[in-house]
Structure 1
Amino acid sequence: MPALSRLTVLLCDSGVAAGRLYQELTGSPLVERVVVAASLDEAIRGTADNAFDVVIVDPLSTGLARTGELALGWSAAGMAVVLHVDQAVVEEQASVFYRGERVGLKELYTLDKRTPAQMLAAEAEAMLIKCREFRLLATGRSRTDRLLDRMRDMAADSGDDNLEQLVEDVDETRSLERARTGVVRPAVARGSVFLSYRFEEEDGYVRGLTGLLEDQGFTVVTGRGADGYVGAAVLNRIRGCEFFVSLMTRARPFAGAGQKYATSAWLIEEKGAALAYRKYLVLLVEEGVDDIGGLQGDWQRHVFTPTTFTTAARAAVAQLRHRSGRPDAVDDDHQSR
C-alpha cells in the first residue's frame, strides 16, 4: 500500500450515528470509497479477499460473540478494525463485552457514537489517520514476512549457516519491534500551547489570554467545537502541543461548602491527559475553585480574581517563556502566588 494511498472502508452498521459517519467518510480526502454492508454475513463476504483497508462495525448491534471473533480475525489479517459503539454502554457491559478472548477488542480502535456532531469530522479524521498508520505497518510486515520466507528457503537450499543465523536475527529484531510499536505520535510543535477553558469564558478571559500568548510568539491551540467532549481529536491536539495552560474558572458552587466552587469536569480530564503526555502545565485558577485535581505543585498555579487576572496571566505567560528557553524570557514565575 503506497504511503499516501487513500483508504477503502467497509461500514457494517446502521442507524442515525452510522448515517452521520457515512457522510463524513464519503467526504474525507483520506477515503477512496465506502461500502455499506447490510448484514454481518455481507461483511464476511466483502472481507473474504482482504479487499478493504478498514472495517467499521458495531458488535452491540451485529451480535457480540460472532462479531468479536470476526473483528479479531480481520485485525490479525492486517485490516484496521474500528468498533463504532456507544462507549457508555460498552463501559456498563465491560465484563461481558471483553470476556475471554474478546479482551483483545481493547486493542482495536474505537469511535464513540455519542460524539457531538460538531466534533465528528475531527474524530473521524483522527480515526482514519490511525487506520492508515496501521495499514502501512501491516503492509510492511507482510512484505517482510515474504522476504524472510524466501531467505529461509535460500538458506536451507544452500546450507549456509551464516545466512540462516542472519535470518533468525532479523526475525527476532522484527518481533521485538512489533512488540514495541504503538500508535504513531504526532510531532510536537515547538512554541505551541493547548489552552483548556470553559467555553463560557471565550469573550472574556480567553480572548485576553490568547492575545498575550500570541504577542509573546506562542501558537494557541484549543478544543474549540468539542463542547465538553474529550475525544481522540482533542487528545491529539494536547499531545501535539509543547505546553498546556488551563484556565479553571468557577462553574458551580459546592453544596454547603461556603465559597468553594467546582470547575468543569472536562477541564480536569484534559489536565489529566496533559499530565499523562508529560506536558509542562501552567494553571490559572479562579479564586474559590477547589477541585483542580492532584499531582500539581503550587509553583505551576496562579490564582486570580476578576481584578487580578491580567497580572496572573502575564505571570503565567512569563513562566512559559522562561520554560521555553527564549533569551528574552522574564523570570517572574512566582509573582502572582
Structure 2
Amino acid sequence: MAVGSLADAVREAGAGTFDVIVVDPLSTDLVQAGRFALSQSGEGAAVVLYVDLARVEEHATFYHGDRSRLRDAFTLDKRTPPEMLAAEADVVLTNCQAFRLLASSRSKADRLLDEVRDRATTSGDDELERLVDDVDQARILEHVRPDSGLVRPKVASNTVFLSYRFKEEDGFVRGLSGLLEDNGFTVITGRAADGYVGMAVLNRIRECEFFVSLMTRSRQFAEPGEKFATSAWLIEEKGAALAFSKYMVLLVEEGVDDIGGLHGDWQRHEFTPPTFTTAARAAVQQLRNRSGRPD
C-alpha cells in the first residue's frame, strides 16, 4: 500500500498488518518521519529508508538523537538507476524477510529459554541453570559475530562475475564471454547497473565462484607519460571481490595504471589489442586450473 502523507501512514500502520514499512523521511518532516520509522521498528516491522544516500551523508542532523537508531534500518538508494531498481528492491525485501524470520525465531527462542530457566529455578537444578546460562551467553555472542550477515547467498560452482566497461561490450567482452562459456563457465555481469555498484551487483559478485575484471583504458592521466586510468566502478567491483574472498583474475590493457593493490602478478594478464586473445586464453586456463577441471 502506498500513502501520500505521514498521517495516512501512521493511521494505516496502526493496525500492525504490515511486515515492511518504507519511509521517505527527507520528503516530509524529518522529526516526525523518524519517530514513525522508529515506532514501527519497535513493533517488529522491517523499516526501509528510501533516500538519496548522498543527501543523507550531507544532512547534519539526519541521525541526530534517537534517530541514530535509524542507522540499523535497511536502505534503498534513490540514486539507483531505473534499470536496477527492481533488482535492488528485491535484495532489500529479501533481507527484510530474513530479518522478520530471524526476529520471530529469536523471540520464540527467548520464550523457550525463559520457560526452561523458570523450571530450573523452581526445581533447584543447578546444572540445568548453568546450561541455560551457557546457551544464553552463546546466543548473545552469536548476535555480535562480525560475519553474521542476514542473507548469505549460496555460491554457484563454475560461475564468473565479469567486470568490464560497457563500451567494450561489442569488442573484447563478447570474445571473452564466449571463451568462458565455451570452457563451461557461466558468465554473470552487472550490465543493467551502468556503473552503479549497488546491493544487487554486490550480491551477484558474492554468488559467483570467480571474478574476472577486464580493465581497459578509460582516460589518460594529466601527468606526462602514457598512463591511463580505468573506470572507477571496476575498482569498486574489484574491491568487493576482494572483500568476498573471490578468486580473481585481472586482464589489464597495457598502459592502465593505478588499479588498486592486494593482488599478485600471477593474477594479472597484460594485453594490447593484438595480444588480447592470447591473454584471454591464459586467463581462462588459469580459471580452469583453479576449478580443478582437466585440460
Confirm or deny a common fold (TM above 0.5). Answer: yes
Within a 5 Å distance, the mapping from 1:5-154 to structure 2 comes to 35-93=1-59, 95-154=60-119
Q: Percent identity?
A: 68
2:194 is aligned to 227
Q: Which runs of 5+ in 2 are unaligned?
A: none
Using the size of structure 2 for normalisation, the TM-score is 0.91
| Structure 2: distance between partners of 1:309 and 1:318 | 14
1:24 is aligned to: none
Aligned-partner SS, 1:36: coil
**Other structure's SS at 1:60 match:** helix
* Aligned counterparts, 1:282-297, within 5 A: 282-297=249-264
1:177 to 2:139 alignment:
no
CA–CA distance in 1 between the matches of 2:57 and 2:233? Answer: 18
State the 1:159 CA deviation.
4.5
> Within 2, Cα distance between the matches of 1:167 and 1:74?
31
SS in 2 for 1:274: helix
State the alpha-carbon separation in 2 of the partners of residues 303 and 224 from structure 1.
24
CA shift, 1:156, in A, is 4.6
One-letter amino acid matched to 2:253 = E
Cα gap change, 1:37/1:167 in structure 2, threshold over 3 Å: closer, same or farther?
A: farther
In the TM superposition, residue 90 of structure 1 has moved relative to its aligned partner by 1.2
Instruction: Please identify, of 65-74 and 261-270, the stretch whose mean Cα deviation from structure 2 is larger.
Output: 65-74
Tell me the distance in 2 between the aligned counterparts of 1:62 and 1:161.
Answer: 55
Equivalent residue letter for 1:128 = L
1:136 to partner: Cα distance: 0.7
Amino acid at match of 2:38: L
Q: Which residue of 1 aligns with 2:175?
A: 208
Partner Cα separation in structure 1 for residue 4 and residue 106 of structure 2: 32
Give the C-alpha shift of residue 49 in structure 1: 4.4
1:290-309 aligned within 5 A: 290-309=257-276
CA deviation profile, 1:123-171 (whole Å, cap 9, x unmatched): 1111111111111101111222232333344445544444444433333
Matched position secondary structure for 1:307:
helix
Post-superposition offset of 1:43: 2.4
- Equivalent position SS for 2:256: coil
Distance verdict in 2 for CA 1:100–1:130, change over 3 Å: same
User: Helix, strand or coil: the match of 2:261?
Assistant: coil
Name the SS for the 1:243 alignment partner: strand
1:99-118 CA-to-partner distances (Å, cap 9, x unmatched) read 34433322221101111111
* Closer/same/farther in 2, CA of residues 45 and 175 from structure 1, 3 Å limit: farther
Aligned to 1:18: none
Q: Secondary structure at the match of 1:78?
A: coil
Q: 1:284 to 1:78 in 2, by over 3 A?
A: same
In structure 1, stretches of 5+ residues that fail to align are: 1-34, 329-337
Q: TM-score, normalised on structure 1?
A: 0.81
Which amino acid letter does the alignment assign opposite residue 135 of structure 2?
V
State the Cα RMSD in Å: 2.0
- Letter of the structure 1 residue corresponding to residue 132 of structure 2: V
Give 1:313 shift.
0.4
Q: Does 1:270 align with 2:242?
A: no
